[in-house]
Amino acid sequence: MDIFCKIINKEIPAEVVYEDKEILAFRDIHPVAPVHVLIIPKKHIESANELSDGDAQLIGKMVVLAKKIAQDLQISEKGYKLLIRTGKDGGQEVPHLHLHLIGGAELYEEIRPIN
Ligand code: 5GP
């Protein structure tokens, strides 16, 4: 079982900021900015590669929730970054789909032109 399924099952603790029957959001254990929240589906989906048409509403809900959490944590006005790493080249470490919500600092540098 992956580590995020264990967090969903309350087998390991996390600082939860939102929960409903489909989605869990909690603080990243190694934040890269003052606000770093991971938004995950409770249903096990390994990565964006495993998404199907039937998951469109769930993914939409995760993005809308990210906006609401950003508002609650007062980073909306200055802005934030939403990120889904996918697979090896994408740098995904945990094999359970997750949307990073990162903000509270200037985050200009992560993606750069290659030419
Ligand atoms: P990825 O690189 O897969 O996109 O991101 C995985 C994220 O999960 C990393 O930012 C990492 O810090 C976070 N993470 C890994 N294990 C745990 C954990 O046990 N608890 C929490 N809260 N975050 C974790």
Q: What are the structural domain ranges in the chain?
A: 3-103
Nearest to 39 by CA among 93, 95, 86, 82: 82
Of all atoms in ligand 1, which is nearest to the CA of residue 27? 22
Residue 108: per-residue pLDDT: 77
Q: Report how far ligand 1's centroid is from the alpha carbon of 77 (Å).
A: 26
**Choice among 30, 44, 96, 98 that is catalytic:** 98
Q: Report how far ligand 1's centroid is from the alpha carbon of 78 (Å).
A: 24
Q: What are phi and psi of 75, to 5 degrees?
A: -115, 0
Residue-wise pLDDT for 29-78, tens only, equals: 999 999 999 999 999 999 999 999 999 999 999 999 999 999 999 999 99
Q: What are phi and psi of 18, to 5 degrees?
A: -160, 145
CB distance 46 to ligand 1 below 6 Å = no
pLDDT band at 115 (very low <50, low <70, confident <90, very high): confident
Residue 62: per-residue pLDDT: 98
Query: Distance (Å, rounded) from C-alpha 13 to C-alpha 17?
Result: 12
Domain 3-103: state its class: alpha beta
Q: Report how far ligand 1's centroid is from the alpha carbon of 30 (Å).
A: 7
